Amino acid sequence: MPAIDPKRYEWIKIDKRDEVVTLTLNNPSKKNAVSRPMHREIERIWDDVDADDDIRVAILTGEGASFCAGTDLSVQDADNQSGRPGRPKTRSARRLFWNMLDAEKPIIAKVRGPAYGVGVNIALACDLVYAAEGARFCDSHVKMGIAAGDGGAALYPLLIGFHRAKELLMTGEPVEAKKAAELGLINYCLPDAELDAAVDAMAQKLAAGPPLAISYTKMSVNLLLKQMTAGAFETSQAYDQLTLFTKDHAEGAKAFLEKRKPKFNGS
């Protein structure tokens, strides 16, 4: 099949070396926050990875010192100011989450700095998660007055148990990489200087393995994951969209942009 074409992507840098491709979220001025065009690229890039027969493993990371700070809240605020015309949209969030789980090639997340909001769920939807010391993982939806969506309500309980998941999702508090590894939220926390080599070593190990056996093993495990998370994911997306139309969310987004503490009133 044709090689993956970097020219098709503006918000993701593509570096293919031998059988490993590194995909870098590329919006560094906003800590790689996800704009709508970037979201669409993340949704569809996995089809291109799977179609490229020269690729056996993908590494997903962020440009600079951040993995992904979440959704670009300047876009959210603009939507709030416009009154959010039209029907609530869940298709793009669904496509991003399921397309990552359905990708047949193994995906390794390499995380530095913040992985917040949709960013943490992009990381957790990968097959393996490696992080540098000081990286932070946070489903921060509630701090913006939004119900936890984008996969957090589905993935967190399976990874770390229900009580810990509810504590983190209901408070929106971040978890340092070391603690995240201890809880089982991620695979490894490593000194920053060791991160690249560790991820490269695992990528090479997977690339040297039997590609069909590895892919089909991933798909088998992810089938169970999808069965266990489908209901929670769809419900969380419905509540996510519902809360986007509340005054609490408008206040949360505005407070974030104005760098002040929000005042939520439950409406």
Residue 92 near residue 100 (C-beta atoms within 8 A):
no
Phi first, then psi, for residue 35 (nearest 5°) are -85, 170
Is this model's pTM higher than 0.85 or not?
A: yes
Q: In the beta sheet, which residues pair with residue 189?
A: 131
Distance CA 195, CA 109 (A): 11
For 236-250, how does the pLDDT look when each residue is reduced to its tens digit (9 = 90+)? 888 888 898 899 988
How many CA atoms does the CB half-sphere of 69 hold within 13 Å?
Answer: 17
**What's the chain's Rg over C-alpha atoms?**
18
Candidates 111, 97, 115, 105; CA nearest to 188 is: 111
* 3-class DSSP state of 149: coil
- The answer to whether 35 and 27 are in contact (CB under 8 A) is yes
Query: Could you give the CA distance from residue 105 to residue 214 in angstroms, rounded to a whole number?
Result: 8
Tell me the per-residue pLDDT of 1-29, one tens digit each, with 9 for 90 and over.
Answer: 568 899 999 999 999 999 999 999 999 99
Q: pLDDT 10s digit of each residue in the chain, 267 long?
A: 568 899 999 999 999 999 999 999 999 999 999 988 999 999 999 999 999 999 999 999 999 999 999 988 766 545 555 555 566 677 888 899 999 999 999 999 999 999 999 999 999 999 999 999 999 999 999 998 999 987 899 999 999 999 999 999 999 999 999 999 999 999 999 999 999 999 999 999 999 999 999 999 999 999 999 999 999 989 988 888 889 889 998 888 888 889 899 999 998
CB 59 within 8 A of CB 110: yes
SS3 217: helix
Cite the DSSP H helix spans in the chain: 36-51, 73-82, 91-102, 118-124, 152-160, 162-171, 177-183, 192-208, 211-244, 247-257
pLDDT reported for residue 175: 98
Rounded Cα distance between 240 and 178, Å, is: 29
Contact 125, 154 (CB under 8 A): no
Q: Are 207 and 54 in contact (CB under 8 A)?
A: no
d(CA 2, CA 25): 22
The whole-angstrom separation of Cα 88 and Cα 245 is: 9
For the packed helices 211-244 and 247-257, what is the interaxial angle rounded to 10 degrees?
110
- Alpha carbon distance 131, 187 (integer Å): 8
